[in-house]
Amino acid sequence: MSGLALERILDLARWAPSGDNTQPWRFEIVACNHIAVHGFDTRDQVLYDFDGHASHMAHGALLETLRIAATGFGLEASWSLRLGGPATAPIYDVLLEENPGITIDPLFPYIEKRVVQRRVMRTTPLTQAQHQALVRAPGSAYEVQFFEVFPERLKMARLLWDNAFIRLTCPEAYKVHREVIEWGARYSKERIPEKAVGVDVLTGRLMKWVMQRWSRVDFFNRYLLGTVLPRIQLDFLPALGCAAHVLLRSHQPLIELVDYVRAGIALQRLWLTASSVGLYLQPQMTPVIFRWYARSGKAFSESSDIVHHASLLADRFESLIGGDGNTPLVFFSRVGSGKSPVSRSLRKDVSDLIFK
Ligand SMILES: Cc1cc2nc3c(=O)[nH]c(=O)nc-3n(C[C@H](O)[C@H](O)[C@H](O)COP(=O)(O)O)c2cc1C
């Protein structure tokens, strides 16, 4: 197989999603049928990357996208985790084999079309066909749970409203938010462009100014109801304005790194399938992530109030989904149809992702 085909496959694979568009992967072309994916995680800098789980899920999404992309070039891809490496820098060996009989994966056309939609979507209920497609997408090791009717969406909206208060008042989360938004941008290769964040122009301008310093954020939050506008626009209204909240659950506990990688494969299949049936899917992972912290007993903030609040929220989340402290949750999102986003995260150039 040609080096050109490998580069083209990687060019497609890099469109896999990753938390805050961190793209925690680099590629090494070892041989004409062998790519080593060098993963990394952001647990030391990013509060949301609890134990590297979000990065490991992104690795899974990348590996599945690479596999789907390869089918478009008559190639069958298989991957294995290289043994002995640290969890913070896992290496995945991907072998590509020519298979003239292979059919192009039906999700292939959606690799580049899949995109976040953080804004309000239509509330048109899911059709039976959309339902079935989403249920089947992640495979039999996972279960897809829907929260669709208005009272269910309202309960989720309230949960997300309270969850967002933690996100916006937590000094450790502020450090992440400050780094991740590319202000004034419609497209961003390495971060999230402002216009894809999901707030209106005025709120965006205010956020940009306030977020320059934690003291301003803290002052606004304490005395000027600073969390209200972003919470309405980013959490409450979109949580009502969607067709359904969709929770991906695993039948087995997630323990090893590879369990999270497989969970990432499942989430990418769910997301690409949503695109294939005309839906946008928007992750809303922070309730899952704060619950990971709460259930592990690890404090994620110097503020004991915030940590306590997160623990109460984890109880509420579990009661809403009919689970308990041991229920393995993979991915929480909302779906719906609607207008295409006017702005999106791009990716680093493939040449910058390949080791020379
Ligand atoms: C594991 C994982 C968790 C994510 N969590 C969130 C989230 O909580 N909120 C959000 O707005 N986007 C979330 N995202 C979406 C990323 O921000 C998005 O994929 C990235 O910025 C690239 O944009 P794109 O998917 O539109 O290409 C998540 C993505 C992944 C893979």
Q: Are residues 202 and 134 in the same domain?
A: yes
Run of H or E including 257: helix 257-276
Pocket test for ligand 1, best of 12, 14, 20, 188 (most atoms within 8 A of CB): 20
Question: Is residue 234 in a domain?
Answer: yes
Residue nearest to atom 17 of ligand 1 (CA): 20
Q: Are residues 106 and 227 in the same domain?
A: no
Pocket test for ligand 1, best of 18, 47, 197 (most atoms within 8 A of CB): 18
Pick the atom of ligand 1 nearest to 17's CA. Answer: 19
Q: Are residues 140 and 101 in the same domain?
A: no
pLDDT at 223: 74
Those residues whose C-beta lies under 8 Å from the C-beta of residue 45, and which sit 6 or more positions away, are 176, 179
Question: Is residue 68 in a domain?
Answer: yes
Task: Out of 114, 141, 164, pick the residue that ends a domain.
Answer: 114
Residue 20's domain is classified under what CATH number?
3.40.109.10
Task: Out of 83, 114, 145, pick the residue that ends a domain.
Answer: 114
Cα-Cα-Cα-Cα torsion 300, 45, 64, 10, nearest 10 degrees, comes to: 170
Question: Is residue 281 in a domain?
Answer: yes
Nearest-angstrom CA–CA distance, 24 and 252: 26
Distance (Å) from CA 2 to ligand 1 centroid: 32
Nearest-angstrom CA–CA distance, 195 and 200: 8
- Residue 261 is which amino acid? V
pLDDT at 165: 95
Pocket test for ligand 1, best of 14, 42, 265, 285 (most atoms within 8 A of CB): 285
Task: Out of 81, 114, 147, pick the residue that ends a domain.
Answer: 114
Q: Are residues 244 and 312 in the same domain?
A: yes
Residue 344 beta carbon below 6 angstroms from any ligand 1 atom: yes
Nearest-angstrom CA–CA distance, 222 and 17: 34
Question: Is residue 120 in a domain?
Answer: no
Question: Is residue 356 in a domain?
Answer: no
Question: Is residue 353 in a domain?
Answer: no
Q: Are residues 11 and 152 in the same domain?
A: no
Pick the atom of ligand 1 nearest to 341's CA. Answer: 26
Nearest-angstrom CA–CA distance, 304 and 200: 33
CA distances from 100 to 6, 63, 105 (A): 16, 21, 14
- The candidate with the shortest Cα–Cα distance to 137, out of 2, 331, 301, 324, is 331
- Residue 108 is which amino acid? F
Question: Is residue 355 in a domain?
Answer: no
- The candidate with the shortest Cα–Cα distance to 121, out of 344, 339, 342, is 339
Residue 54 beta carbon below 6 angstroms from any ligand 1 atom: yes
Domains of the chain: total: 2
Q: Are residues 12 and 156 in the same domain?
A: no
DSSP codes joined into one string, 258-317: HHHHHHHHHHHHHHHHHHHTT-EEEE--HHHHHHHHHHHT---SS-HHHHHHHHHHHHHH
Question: Is residue 252 in a domain?
Answer: yes
pLDDT at 180: 95
Asked if 337 and 243 count as a contact pair (C-beta separation under 8 A), the reply is yes
Q: Are residues 142 and 223 in the same domain?
A: yes
Residue numbers of the domain that contains 25: 3-114
Q: Are residues 72 and 142 in the same domain?
A: no
pLDDT at 2: 73
Nearest-angstrom CA–CA distance, 289 and 298: 12
Q: Are residues 286 and 184 in the same domain?
A: yes
Q: What is the pTM for the complete model shown?
A: 0.97
Residue 258's domain is classified under what CATH number?
3.40.109
Q: Are residues 340 and 237 in the same domain?
A: yes
Q: Are residues 277 and 163 in the same domain?
A: yes
Q: Average pLDDT of each block of 10 consecutive residues along the chain (356 residues)? A: 86 98 97 96 96 98 98 97 94 96 97 97 98 98 98 98 95 94 96 93 90 89 84 96 98 97 98 98 98 95 96 98 96 97 96 90
Asked if 320 and 314 count as a contact pair (C-beta separation under 8 A), the reply is no
Q: Are residues 281 and 243 in the same domain?
A: yes
Q: Which residues face 29 on adjacent strands?
A: 35
Residue 321, helix vs strand vs coil:
helix
